[in-house]
């Protein structure tokens, strides 16, 4: 079982103005994030616009990323797809290039929503690979909530050792922690509270634009320096509230660009923030410079 504690940064995919991937900046970002002290990088994350990348593009990013990372932090690759055979194929490729874990959404579009169907889905993938599966609870995007009863069944699978919880419900999050210690927080605005509850690590999109602050927050909480942690959290929170309540990925990418990380470009069908939203984002980021 891979140790996914700490800050696993859900990494952006840098795009050029025409929507093509800028691999040079991608490699530069990996260096910047590792230099900031992140414990892991999630390649092809939702923040990296995984739904709008082809399988070939993902595979190329993962190969390039694994070579550049070269064991300096953990590698989590998203291998989600609607077709189970494709998930297996993507997963085996990611395992083959050195991924430590795989992040896999439930089959979110008119797929099975019953527990038996979801267990069968993950079970088929589990049988085809030998590294950790990070399941994904993000009902606001998939329409599927992973219940505690379902999680109890999933963690019985050989490789289903983690679940990323992006729902933002701290009650359910703490219920998950009663079932497994392999819980990773994915809701930006609850990060400090999930760490205080005992969550060992996070998969964090907002860390794209404040990687050093994200690592510092984790270190302060784990060192029991709570007053300092909350002082830092108060500086982080305005922008986190903004990205969580606005257009998430365009907001994260624009915030990253403003703070020296990436191009700020999105790939269609996503669009950049409007002028008013952009000004509001810039105001929300001011506290990070205070």
pLDDT in tens, 44-84: 999 999 999 999 999 999 999 999 999 999 999 999 999 99
Task: Report the mean per-residue pLDDT for the chain.
Answer: 96
Give the dihedral sign, CA 194/235/229/73: positive
pLDDT above 90 for 107: no
- pLDDT in the model for residue 141: 83
The count of structural domains within the chain is 1
- pLDDT in the model for residue 1: 87
Question: pLDDT > 90: what percent of the chain?
Answer: 93
- What CA–CA distance (Å, rounded) separates 177 from 152? 11
Asked if the structure places residue 265 within a domain, the reply is no
Q: φ and ψ at 191, to 5 degrees?
A: -55, -55
- The token duo for 187 is 């809701």
* pLDDT category of residue 278 using cuts at 50, 70 and 90: very high
- The token duo for 126 is 């589990």
pLDDT above 80 for 171: yes
- The token duo for 73 is 């932090």
Asked if the structure places residue 179 within a domain, the reply is yes
Asked if the structure places residue 218 within a domain, the reply is yes
Asked if the structure places residue 206 within a domain, the reply is yes
Of 105-109, 164-168, 169-173, 267-271, the range with the lowest mean pLDDT is 105-109
pLDDT above 80 for 111: no
Asked if the structure places residue 53 within a domain, the reply is yes
Q: What DSSP element (H or E) covers 277?
A: helix 275-285
Residues 179 and 199: beta-carbon distance below 8 Å: no
pLDDT above 90 for 94: yes
pLDDT above 90 for 245: yes
pLDDT above 90 for 143: no
* pLDDT category of residue 290 using cuts at 50, 70 and 90: confident
pLDDT above 80 for 233: yes
Residues 202 and 4: beta-carbon distance below 8 Å: no
- The token duo for 281 is 């984002």
Please list, in sequence order, all residues whose beta carbon lies within 8 angstroms of the beta carbon of residue 182, skipping any fewer than 6 positions away.
1, 4, 155, 161, 162, 163, 200
- pLDDT in the model for residue 273: 97
Region 239-248 average pLDDT: 97
Crossing angle between the packed helical segments 226-245 and 248-258, to the nearest 10 degrees: 120
Of the candidates 166, 164, 262, the one whose C-alpha atom is nearest the C-alpha of residue 209 is: 262
- The token duo for 57 is 């593009």
Which letter does DSSP use for residue 60 in this model?
H
Tell me the residue range of the domain where 98 lies. 6-226
- pLDDT in the model for residue 160: 98
Of the candidates 290, 285, 280, the one whose C-alpha atom is nearest the C-alpha of residue 239 is: 285
Asked if the structure places residue 198 within a domain, the reply is yes
> b vs e for 90-121, b when ≥16 Cβ sit within 10 Å of the residue's Cβ?
bbebbbeebbbbbbbbbbbeebeeebeebbeb
pLDDT above 80 for 164: yes
Residues 74 and 8: beta-carbon distance below 8 Å: yes
Asked if the structure places residue 245 within a domain, the reply is no
Region 213-238 average pLDDT: 98
Per DSSP, the residues of 192-213 read HHHHHHT--EEEESGGGT-HHH
pLDDT above 90 for 197: yes
- What CA–CA distance (Å, rounded) separates 244 from 260? 21
Question: pLDDT > 70: what percent of the chain?
Answer: 100
CATH of the domain at 138: 3.20.20.70
């Amino acid at each position: 079982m891979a140790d996914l504690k700490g800050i696993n940064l859900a990494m952006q995919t840098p795009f050029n103005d025409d929507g093509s991937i800028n691999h040079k900046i991608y490699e530069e970002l990996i260096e910047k994030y590792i230099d900031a002290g992140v414990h892991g990088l999630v390649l092809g994350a939702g923040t990296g616009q995984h739904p709008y990348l082809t399988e070939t593009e993902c595979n190329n990013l993962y190969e390039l990323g694994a070579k550049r990372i070269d064991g300096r932090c953990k590698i989590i690759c998203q291998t989600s797809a609607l077709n189970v055979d494709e998930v297996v194929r993507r997963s085996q490729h990611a395992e083959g290039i050195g991924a430590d874990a795989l992040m896999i959404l439930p089959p979110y579009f008119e797929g099975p929503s019953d527990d038996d169907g979801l267990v069968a889905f993950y079970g088929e993938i589990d049988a085809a690979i030998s590294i950790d599966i990070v399941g994904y609870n993000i009902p606001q995007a998939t329409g599927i909530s992973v219940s505690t009863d379902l999680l109890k069944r999933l963690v019985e699978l050989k490789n289903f050792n983690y679940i990323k919880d992006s729902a933002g419900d701290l009650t359910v999050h703490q219920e998950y922690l009663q079932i497994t210690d392999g819980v990773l927080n994915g809701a930006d605005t609850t990060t400090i509270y999930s760490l205080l509850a005992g969550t060992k690590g996070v998969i964090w999109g907002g860390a794209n634009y404040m990687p050093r602050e994200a690592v510092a927050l984790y270190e302060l909480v784990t060192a029991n320096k709570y007053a300092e942690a909350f002082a830092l959290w108060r500086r982080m929170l305005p922008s986190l509230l903004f990205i969580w309540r606005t257009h998430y990925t365009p907001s994260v990418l624009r915030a990253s660009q403003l703070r020296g990380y990436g191009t700020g470009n999105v790939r269609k069908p996503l669009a950049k923030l409007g002028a008013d939203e952009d000004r509001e984002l810039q105001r929300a980021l001011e506290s990070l410079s205070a």
